[in-house]
Structure 1
Amino acid sequence: MNLGRALPSRSNRRPRAVLPAVAASAAMLTLAACGGGATSGGGGDTNFVTNTGGVQTVAKGERKAVNKIAGETLDGKQLDVADLKGKIVVLNVWGSWCGPCRAEAPYFAKVAKETETKGQDVAFVGLNARDANKGAAIAFEKDYGVTYPSIYDPTSKLIVNGFPKGSLNPQAIPSTIVLDRDGKIAARSLKALDDKKLREMIDPLIAEK
């Protein structure tokens, strides 16, 4: 009789997970990939209001400016969000691999065109996250008729560092952050949006004096 302790079979031995540098950077952001259940990243000194649609907003006097968000777009141009001050800026965090991102993309393309046609001074900027190469992201934009620029951010470095502590920052993919005309964070959604919900985030800021 063998009284020794039985060793686990090779089939039951699980290799230790290795977290590559890219994933580690994304983990710092605690982005819930294709999830919308994350809670606010704000601290106790913030005054966020969550309405029934799951959109969080900040009163005008309590808003914080974003940090530097700039880089190369998917089409090889340079874009700095600071240059868009004076406009309402819609920042959409997305990835071509993300199902909810595919669901909301046609609505974003539609509203972007509507606001441009009406001259409402709204700029849309995508933040493309976790796509290992640009090809898939470029194909995504073509498939869904997205004509506004997206900054290529495969390691999520810009997303991690672009939003100040205690602000409404992106914590899921997709996330949508809307900046007021002063470049300050006014609203956030952590889930996919249709055109109606997106307009509910944008229209109050267009009307804001």
Structure 2
Amino acid sequence: MIQFRALASGVAGLAACVLTLTACQGQQAGSSGDNTNIVQGSGGVLTVDPEDRQTLPDISGETLDGDELSLADYRGEVLVLNVWGSWCSPCRGEAPSLVAVANDMADEGVQFVGLNLQDRSREPALAFERTFDVPYPSLYDPNGELLLEFPKDSLNPQGVPSTLIVDREGRIAVRALKALTEEDLRAALEPVVAES
């Protein structure tokens, strides 16, 4: 059992390192597998037709504030899941845009959740949230273990920052592998919000 935990911890750490290297150094990942029927947009934003969408894994865990949170609780609402770290410069760049859209669209049934990655202690992440007045919770994933809940070859967040937009049925409609501007986020969200 100890060897398995060590292996799982090592795999999680390796996954987190790969995420760090791919996104925060400005590289863009491509599509997540063959025959996924994913349309690649400009700048690392992928959109998926409703009939081809994959279900978001039922990820749950502890938030930065110490509360329990499950992404399954957001079914029936449009969910924006943003993967970020306090150490990531592009994350700081996109934070005001995420906060503005989260505040503006809360009454339209759009919910936001962060997934904080690789902050070894909570304090830098909590300071980040205070600095940008983040109004939504973030799951705390210091070792990248929650990211391992995404199946291989799924439409998963492959970098930091990355953002998933999940439709009301709990399916991944959009994946952005870049820091989003407010305009980018609104343009990606509007069609998903408009779906009945």
Residue by residue over 1:120-156, the C-alpha shift from the partner in whole angstroms, topping out at 9 and shown as x without a partner, is: 1011000000000000000000001101000000001
Deviation at 1:23, TM superposition (A): 6.4
Percent identical residues: 47
CA distance change for structure 1 residues 181 and 35 in 2, over 3 Å: closer, same or farther? farther
**Dislocated runs of 4+, deviation >3 Å:** 20-24
CA distance change for structure 1 residues 110 and 174 in 2, over 3 Å: closer, same or farther? same
Q: Please show how residues 51-66 of structure 1 align to structure 2 within 5 Å.
A: 51-66=41-56
Counterpart in 2 of 1:125? 113
CA distance change for structure 1 residues 33 and 55 in 2, over 3 Å: closer, same or farther? closer
Say which SS state the counterpart of residue 55 (structure 2) adopts.
coil
The 2-side partners of 1:80 and 1:72 are apart by 9
Richer in helix (by share): 2
Say which SS state the counterpart of residue 42 (structure 2) adopts.
coil
Q: Please show how residues 29-178 of structure 1 align to structure 2 within 5 Å.
A: 30-31=18-19, 32-116=22-106, 119-161=107-149, 163-178=150-165
The 1-side partners of 2:43 and 2:29 are apart by 14
Q: Which amino acid aligns with 1:204?
A: P
Is residue 183 of structure 1 aligned with residue 170 of structure 2? yes
Deviation at 1:36, TM superposition (A): 4.4
Counterpart in 1 of 2:3? none
CA distance change for structure 1 residues 182 and 36 in 2, over 3 Å: closer, same or farther? farther
Gaps of 5+ in 1: 1-19
Instruction: Say how many residue pairs are matched.
Output: 187
**What TM-score do the two structures reach when normalised by structure 1?**
0.84
Say which SS state the counterpart of residue 172 (structure 1) adopts.
coil
- The higher radius of gyration belongs to 1
The 2-side partners of 1:196 and 1:146 are apart by 18
The alignment yields a C-alpha RMSD, in angstroms, of: 1.8
Residue by residue over 1:7-35, the C-alpha shift from the partner in whole angstroms, topping out at 9 and shown as x without a partner, is: xxxxxxxxxxxxx9866414236312514
Q: Which amino acid aligns with 2:42?
A: T
Deviation at 1:171, TM superposition (A): 0.9
Q: Which moved more, 1:24-33 or 1:173-182?
A: 24-33
Deviation at 1:66, TM superposition (A): 1.6
The 2-side partners of 1:84 and 1:35 are apart by 32
CA distance change for structure 1 residues 154 and 33 in 2, over 3 Å: closer, same or farther? farther
